[in-house]
Structure 1
Amino acid sequence: MYFYIKAIHIIFIVTWFAGMFYIPRLFIYTTEANEKPEPDKSILQKQFGIMTKRLWMGITWPSALLTLIFGTWMGFLYGSVPQWLWIKLGFVAGLYLYHFSLQKIYSQQQRGIFKYTSQQLRIWNEIATIFLVAIVMIVSVKQSISLVWGVLGLILFIVILMSAIKIYKLLRK
């Protein structure tokens, strides 16, 4: 039973991440549509609004909830909580906070409030990638990696990722 629950848990993790990877892109497109002249602005914002709502409410939120349900179920079936799992759960808690931040942006944009530039949203878009890398490394490597090397590796990954964003911005101009 454990492995079936684990498989379902992984499926919903994948769909949840798919939503969290794409929703900021839609936020960026919607924000950039604000700079277009009418009628393009209205047409694009209406279309992106529909796409955003369907993705967020139809895929991302249900996947987040089902990930939590099946992950908790898996935890009960597993029994004990090893040290690596506590670290992973800390990152998972951070991932849910990130999810809630996306909910806030979603709610604002649905009301026509645009607080962030497309560049700020591009950077925010990469936060899910950082969580994905950290969580997958912890689950895959477990006790084989030291905490110090894990943190240093994650910091190096973040520096490389942010540098890539800056380089991309320069290339776009």
Structure 2
Amino acid sequence: MLLWFKALHVFFMVAWFAGIFYLPRLFVYHAECEHQPTRETFKVMERRLWWFVTPFALLTLVFGLGLIHIYGMEWFRHSHWLHAKLALVVPLYFYHGYLYYLMKQFAADNNRHSPRFYRLINEVPALGLLVIVCLAILKPNF
């Protein structure tokens, strides 16, 4: 059971991250686009992608919490690497929500940011993922 939860947690995390890596890239192209029919296509792509990956974000959370439950609260209390990991994961859920907000601005033709802004925020989850994976694999003692 434990290994299934780990496998599903990792699978849904990878699928979620694929979406939150790609959605800001779509925003870059959308912000650069002047052709209205193409902009409408971007709106559809962005909406569909966000709704496609959101269940993956939720299932990542469900299986992560399931792992904590399986290992037990005593293990959780002593796993300081996990506390650091969770301190990085929580902002990623807020980032996911922020992508929804940006998507809604594009949908209303009310984009307020440059393509450069979207290029910069596209890097945020990659840096977070690097540290999260290192914490999960190395499990450093703090």
TM-score norm. by structure 2 comes to 0.92
Match of 2:49 in 1: 55
> Deviation above 2 Å: which 4+ runs of structure 1?
none
Q: Helix, strand or coil: the match of 2:140?
A: helix
Gaps of 5+ in 1: 148-173
The CA deviation at 1:102 is 1.1
Give the match's secondary structure for 2:139: helix
| Correspondence 1:1-173 to 2 at 5 A | 1-33=1-33, 36=34, 41-58=35-52, 60-79=53-72, 80-81=75-76, 82-143=79-140
Q: How far, CA to CA, are the matches of 2:17 and 2:87 in structure 1?
A: 17
Q: Which whole-Å deviations, capped at 9, do the CAs of 1:19-52 have from their partners, x for residues lacking one?
A: 000000111111111xx2xxxx111111111111
CA deviation profile, 1:47-83 (whole Å, cap 9, x unmatched):
111111111112x211111111111111101112111
1-side partners of 2:55 and 2:11: how far apart?
A: 12
Give the CA deviation at 1:9: 0.8
| C-alpha RMSD over aligned residues | 1.2
For 1:86, what is the secondary structure of its paired residue?
Answer: helix
Between structure 1 and structure 2, the one with the greater Rg is 1
The structure, 1 or 2, with the larger RCO (C-alpha pairs under 8 Å, 6+ apart) is 2
TM value normalised by structure 1:
0.76
Provide the residue aligned with 1:151 in structure 2: none
Matched length: 138
After TM superposition, give the deviation of residue 141 of structure 1 in Å.
Answer: 1.3
